[in-house]
Amino acid sequence: MQIPGVLEARLRLQLEGEYDEFAEACSRPPRTSYRVNTLKASIDDVTSVFDSEPVPWSHTGFYTEARVGDSIEHFQGLLYVQESASMLAAEVLDPVECDCVLDLTAAPGSKTTQMAAMMKNEGCIVANELDSQRLKTLRFNLNRMGVVNTVVSNVDGARFRSKMRFDRVLLDAPCSNLGQLRENPEALKSWSEGNVRRCAGVQRKLMDVAASFLKKDGVLVYSTCTFSPEENEAVVDHAIRKHGLSCEGIGGEFKSRNGLLEWKGKRYGPEVENSVRIYPHENDTGGFFAAKLRR
């Protein structure tokens, strides 16, 4: 895998001597991971079929070498094939049965269906998606997984409107996707600093909407599958400064780095350090960023 020089320089600044380990991990295919859908099956029902190893930070996540995506269990909605690092967002948000939850950019539905299972199909989820084709996939997956506590909306997340206020909000923002290099090396072709700036502008607008719908003492999880500070820490810093949110620590059985406090001369508030960066070589996963914000 040939990483462009400008991107390599950015990553070397972040990785503090571990760039070679990062690049080597990105050259390997990703591990197959899946999540048991406890709305339809028990963990034993599914793991007894496939030789599986638990994902340490997910209550229902497992690694396997089996082709679970081709299985009858997948077709029946007993499991969802999901990259293991991405399971972290819903685990951090931790919705419960009585919650009202907003998933502002929901397709294809991996995290929506994960939250529905955590909520035992109770409470309410509003799952929003702008793209009409991805919306079809979202609806298909909600139906396949037996989710009945979710309402789907089809609007630009930056223009989402509702009279409701939510206990928990998930903003798994569209991004430059560098965390998916193991699965999709083609992501390198679309990467540029200009695209990073464009994504960051969209993310700030989405954050403004997400924060505006959060109840007092509500929790907002912001996540991406990329490494750019402009798309990660800068957006969290924006939420803290503009909306008065606090950024809380994230614990779990995974290796990670704290959020950056400075990038290319721009300093972020001290709470931003409570966010987490996960690089592929640290847990043999994709790349991921997450921040837990509270009003």
The catalytic site residues sit at 225
Whether the bond between 56 and the residue before it is cis, its omega within 30 degrees of 0, is: no
Is the CB of residue 13 less than 8 Å from the CB of residue 2? no
Q: Which residues have a Cβ under 8 Å from the Cβ of 276 and sit 6 or more positions away?
A: 250, 256, 257, 258, 259, 289, 290, 291
* CA–CA separation, 109 and 130 (whole Å): 13
Strand 150-153 versus strand 124-128 pairing type: parallel
Token pair for 235: 């957006």
Is the CB of residue 142 less than 8 Å from the CB of residue 113? yes
Burial of 174 (C-beta count, 10 Å sphere; 0-12/13-18/19+): middle
Q: Which residues have a Cβ under 8 Å from the Cβ of 104 and sit 6 or more positions away?
A: 128, 157, 160, 169, 170, 171, 206, 209, 210
